[in-house]
Amino acid sequence: MKQHPDYISPEELEADIRHVIMATAGILGALYHFPKPMRDEFLGVDISEEDWLPGTYTDWPDDHLWQDMPIEQHPLTRVLRVARDYAFQEGEWPDEEGLKNIWDEIAPITDHLPRSDVNGLPTPARRSLGPLSPFPSDPPEMKREVGRLRRVIDMFEARWDLDQGNWLTIAQIAVLSGLGEETVRTTISKEGLRTAPRESGGRGRSDDGKAAEINGLSNAEARDFLSRRRGFIPSRSTGVEPPAAIAERILFEGSGPFPDRLKRLLAARGLTPAGLAETAGTPPDWTDSIVAGASTEPRIEDLVRLARALDCAPGRFAALAVEHLLT
Q: Which residue has the higher pLDDT, 67 or 267?
A: 267
| pLDDT given at position 129 | 40
Q: Which residue has the higher pLDDT, 250 or 80?
A: 80
* Mean pLDDT along residues 270-293: 93
Residue 240: pLDDT band by 50, 70, 90 thresholds? low
First-to-last C-alpha distance (Å) of the chain: 41
Q: Is the pLDDT of residue 237 over 90?
A: no
Question: In angstroms, rounded to a whole number, what is the distance separating the alpha carbons of residues 276 and 158?
Answer: 29
* Mean pLDDT along residues 167-180: 94
Residue 175: pLDDT band by 50, 70, 90 thresholds? very high
| pLDDT given at position 170 | 94
Nearest to 115 by CA among 101, 129, 105, 125: 125
With the CA atoms of 212, 214, 219 and 222 taken in that order, what torsion angle do they form, in degrees rounded to the nearest 10?
Answer: -110
Q: What is the chain's percent helix, strand, coil content, to nearest 5?
A: 55, 5, 40
Q: Are 126 and 180 in contact (CB under 8 A)?
A: no
| pLDDT given at position 249 | 82
Phi first, then psi, for residue 205 (nearest 5°) are -130, 145
| pLDDT given at position 212 | 45
CATH code for 243-325? 1.10.260.40
**From the candidate CATH numbers 1.25.40, 1.10.287, 1.10.472, 1.10.1660, the one assigned to the domain spanning 165-227:** 1.10.1660
* Mean pLDDT along residues 214-234: 87
| pLDDT given at position 92 | 84
| pLDDT given at position 210 | 45
Q: Which residue has the higher pLDDT, 101 or 120?
A: 101
* Mean pLDDT along residues 195-213: 53
Q: Is the pLDDT of residue 139 over 60?
A: no
Phi first, then psi, for residue 287 (nearest 5°) are -65, -40
What are the domain boundaries of the chain? 10-142, 165-227, 243-325
* pLDDT (tens digit per residue) in 52-109: 665 545 455 456 667 788 999 999 999 999 999 999 999 888 888 899 999 999 999 9
* Mean pLDDT along residues 192-210: 58
- List the beta strands (DSSP E) in 192-312: 196-197, 215-217
* Mean pLDDT along residues 198-227: 66
> Distance of CA 103 to CAs 80, 107, 153, 202, 223, Å?
10, 7, 9, 11, 21
| Residue 246 neighbours by CB distance under 10 Å | 18
Q: Strand 196-197's sheet: what is its strand order?
A: 168-169, 215-217, 196-197
Burial class (CB in 10 A: 0-12, 13-18, 19+), 237: exposed
Summary mean pLDDT of the chain: 83
Question: Would you say the pTM of this structure is higher than 0.95?
Answer: no
